[in-house]
Structure 1
Amino acid sequence: MRLTKSTDLALRVVMSLTVMGEESSTIRKIADAMQVPYSHLTKVVAQLQHFGLVETRRGRGGGLVITASGRRASVGGLVRRLEGEGDVVDCEGVTPCPLNAACRLRGALRQAQEAFYLSLDPLTVEDLAGSPTGPILVSLVGRNA
């Protein structure tokens, strides 16, 4: 299974904000540190804000901060929400698979996908931001501690 670039960026954003604690950052600062397009990261942050994981503040002293629920969020649950519902393979696409009516592969892939998510369920965003990842994130995005 391969995660979308948006999911990858979302995980990096929440991990970065977690190590920053109560200090805010900006989308621009995180985009520069992660070497990703600002416009793409803006969309990712909007989705995280919609989920209640990130809070944005406008004006002087504004920026992004992780919410308490963002720190405690299950990585499996977050990845499920970001990736959306759907099968690993598209059996019904433009050219439907001729094996569709009697295929056992789709069910096996669905089980494997769920096992992937289940293995991530016990992990929280805070767990991911711990050592040795945390110090590297701090060096990338900074923190005035």
Structure 2
Amino acid sequence: MHLGRATDIALRILMLASARREQVTIDGLAQSLNVPRNHVAKVVQRLQHQGWVRTSRGRGGGLTVAETTLELSVGLIVRHFEGPGEVVDCNGPPCPLRSACRLRNALRTAQEAFFASLDQVLLRDLLADPTGATLLALT
């Protein structure tokens, strides 16, 4: 399974902003994470819409991570960004094997195991050293 770019950026934004425990700017995040500013801005909008970050505009504006966000599972965050789809799309175009296929069920089971594993990891867990120290060292 391959995570989309937005999912990757979201996880890194949440990790960095959580580790800093202070307001960060979109420009600062883009520079620290080496990600285009417009990508960061789009992901921040989605994070803000979920209530996972708080944003403020204008001079001195930026974002902070809501304290409750630290208790979110990585699985929940990934599900939100990846959506409810399956690993393979058997319907478009329709696969001739879909009525008797065992692969789809095997892949669905693997995907559920993937998410179950990520459900055991909280955002807070990702901030432990050495990752936390590395996040704080990013400029």
- What's the TM-score once normalised by structure 1's chain length? 0.92
Equivalent position amino acid for 2:15 in 1: M
Q: Residue in 1 aligned with 2:56?
A: 57
Count of matched residue pairs: 139
Instruction: Note the residue ranges of structure 1 that are not aligned, 5 or more in a row.
Output: none
Q: Which SS does the other structure have where 2:2 is aligned?
A: coil
Q: Residue in 2 aligned with 1:67?
A: 66
- What's the TM-score once normalised by structure 2's chain length? 0.96
Q: Residue in 1 aligned with 2:77?
A: 78
Q: Residue in 1 aligned with 2:91?
A: 92
Equivalent position amino acid for 2:51 in 1: G
Cα-to-partner distance string for 1:11-45 (whole Å, 9 max, x where unaligned)? 00000011011x10101111111111111111111
Is 1:110 matched with 2:120? no
CA-CA distance at 1:61 after TM superposition: 2.5
CA-CA distance at 1:135 after TM superposition: 0.8
CA–CA distance in structure 1, aligned partners of residues 27 and 103 of structure 2: 43
Pairwise CA RMSD: 1.0
Is 1:30 matched with 2:4? no
Q: Which SS does the other structure have where 1:98 is aligned?
A: coil
Equivalent position amino acid for 2:39 in 1: H
Q: Residue in 2 aligned with 1:6?
A: 6
TM superposition outliers: structure 1 runs of 4+ over 2 Å: none
CA–CA distance in structure 1, aligned partners of residues 95 and 63 of structure 2: 45
Identity %: 51
